[in-house]
Structure 1
């Protein structure tokens, strides 16, 4: 299935003029290691990679004509991690990939428009991201893969589960719905609050959010390309007509999901209260629900050890 074109060549070949080419060293079929273009040279993943030895690799690949950054590593059955709105594979999953990679082969792409993946001028929507994930899975030569998504990534994972269930044997953390209040973009003066989703709470968060880290985030988020992708995604989420055939409120279709689903929820999630999780759990026949006490909207970053334990138990079942 590696050669199958899920989205159609036209969906990915109109963006060759997005960004400039950079010197590359071919490291495998369809896989390149690129010099890092500005402004991503200062993205937190770069400095961290220099300081630590990790089994997780960071590479660029080409899907159609779209240059895609992804993180990957480990051995075993495949698991694909999908990040949330305004994030990247590193920012979202930096506490989870290594632990999961000890028992599974892990993949974490930056979605189009985010992280270090190219940012074409297209209409970003849940169906668009879902078709990208389908193409990514098949382009990696995977017959199927478990999907773990957070926030927007969870919604994308559910779209794939509903439309292409044969691709994914099970789905990890998923958030079912979005509200207008949860999706507006913070001004630069509120960037600390935005980044706080990924860094934990309390004193640990304050230590992580030093001036250098904030500068990295501001550079990453300051590009026009990122801003356009972000606003396009938000418009599609708050405007059902912009979903291009997708399902803005997926709750009415949850009973259609027949594959195993693990819901991992923070007990103190300020955006989506636990009631959302209990409702979804009741609607999906083969579902599990784990509530992580003391965690907010990002349990994978706030309580990574407990999150990883729940996820690995689910994947191994």
Structure 2
């Protein structure tokens, strides 16, 4: 079942509308709804799965930063009137999840991070991709995954379009630089919500040692590695990912 994108004021999002616990999914810098299809279809009946479309390309340039995106999530949750939420973030979305949990600890029931930035990330190597270089974008997108076939043409086209839109490219660079500046190593001890870390063993963007460091610094955390898997386990191994996520949510909500 496909869920329509809702628009309410400055907020765009999808919501399954189920009566269960709220599960908010936060996408990464090049993320899209398609990244979370497996989670939405699997959990949409039992949980109120919500995916706000982060305004990475809509924020005024002076507000383009991870903190600007966190403010957006704070305002969105308040707008929707949710109580406690379970928040899942991939890549940049994980970074935003952590900053949200630090800013609004009373609103967070649990945290799920997969390939999260916030400690170390190497998204594009040492250079931003050249505009118009489709093969370069294709290789970089494929490198996100252990199995390059997961990088469909539609996904590559989406990244290519972002890179070749000057306004979007500027915002990508500004957001990425902001993420690097907002290293969370000295703040993670403040996180008290139960936290699940699901990491691809072969993640090239936020390597395995990053997951281990998050596990070390977040007190109530559990770390799971998925073998032969890259930066987006929920896309590369949706069944295994959903099994781990489902077990964790049941444990948290029955505690």
Q: TM exceeds 0.5?
A: yes
Change in Cα spacing, 1:100 to 1:195, as seen in structure 2 (3 Å) is: farther
**Partners of 2:146 and 2:202 within 8 A in 1:** no
Distance in 1 (CA, whole Å) between partners of 2:24 and 2:122 is 28
Higher relative contact order (CA 8 A, sep 6+): 2
* Unpaired stretches in structure 1, ≥5 consecutive residues: 1-53, 241-247
- Superposed structure 1 runs of 4+ greater than 4 Å apart: 180-184, 197-200, 212-217
Give how far 1:198 is off: 7.1
**Partners of 1:169 and 1:260 within 8 A in 2:** yes
Using the size of structure 2 for normalisation, the TM-score is 0.85
Give how far 1:314 is off: 1.1
Pick one of 253, 267, 272 that aligns with 2:201.
267
> What residue is the counterpart of 1:313 in the other structure?
247
> What residue is the counterpart of 2:150 in the other structure?
205
Pick one of 251, 270, 283 that aligns with 2:185.
251
2:244 pairs with 1:297: no
Pick one of 170, 188, 191 that aligns with 1:228.
170
Distance in 2 (CA, whole Å) between partners of 1:180 and 1:139 is 34
> What residue is the counterpart of 1:80 in the other structure?
24
Using the size of structure 1 for normalisation, the TM-score is 0.69
Give how far 1:147 is off: 0.5
Change in Cα spacing, 1:213 to 1:147, as seen in structure 2 (3 Å) is: closer
**Partners of 2:29 and 2:56 within 8 A in 1:** no
* Unpaired stretches in structure 2, ≥5 consecutive residues: none
Aligned length in residues: 244
Aligned to 1:122, what secondary structure does the other structure show? Answer: helix
Measured against aligned partners, the alpha-carbon deviations of 1:32-57 in whole angstroms (never above 9, x if no partner) come to: xxxxxxxxxxxxxxxxxxxxxx1533
Mean Cα deviation higher: 157-166 or 222-231: 222-231
Give how far 1:222 is off: 3.2
Pick one of 57, 61, 66 that aligns with 2:8.
61
RMSD in angstroms over aligned alpha carbons?
Answer: 2.4
Aligned to 1:262, what secondary structure does the other structure show? Answer: strand
Aligned to 2:170, what secondary structure does the other structure show? Answer: helix
Pick one of 161, 170, 186 that aligns with 2:101.
161
Change in Cα spacing, 1:99 to 1:268, as seen in structure 2 (3 Å) is: same
